Structure 1
Amino acid sequence: MRDNIILACQTCKHRNYTSTKNKKTLPQKLELKKYCPFCREHTLHKETK
C-alpha cells in the first residue's frame, strides 16, 4: 500500500530526497521543509512524480 515518492525543492527544482507514503491515508501531495544542498538552506520540498 505504501508508494515511493520523490521530494523536489520548490526554489531550485532539484530532486533531493525520496520517501514513502500511504496514499490511502494521505491523498494530498506531501510538503516538508528540508535542507537543500544546492540552495544551502532549508526550503520547502514538495512531492513530484
Structure 2
Amino acid sequence: MAKATTIKIKLLSTADTGYFYVTKKNSRTMTEKMVQRKYDPIAKKHVEFKEAKIK
C-alpha cells in the first residue's frame, strides 16, 4: 500500500503553556517543520506554534 501524502501533526505553543493545535500537512510538498503564528488562549496572545509529533 502507498504511503499517505497528508499526515496529522501537533502544533505546540512556544510559550510553554502546553496548549496545542492538531492539523494536517502534505509531507511531500512541505518537508521542513511547520511553524505558524496562532492564538494561545492560556497566554492570551498570539505566539509561534512549532510542529511536534503526535504520540
Indicate whether the TM-score tops 0.5: yes
> What residue in structure 2 maps to residue 18 of structure 1?
22
- Structure 1 segments unaligned to the other structure (5+ residues): none
Structure with more strand by fraction: 1
Q: How many residues align?
A: 49
Distance 1:15 1:48, change over 3 A: farther
Identity, % of aligned positions: 29
Per the TM alignment, residue 37 of structure 1 is displaced from its structure 2 partner at its CA by 1.0
Using structure 1 for the length normalisation, give the TM-score.
0.90
- What is the TM-score when the length of structure 2 is the normalising length? 0.81
Taking the TM superposition and a 5 Å limit, the aligned residue runs for 1:1-49 are 1-49=5-53
What is the Cα-based RMSD across aligned positions, in Å?
A: 1.1
Q: Deviations over 1:2-29 (max 9, x none)?
A: 0000000011151420100011100000
Letter of the aligned partner of 1:16 in structure 2? F
Large movers: runs of 4+ above 6 Å: none
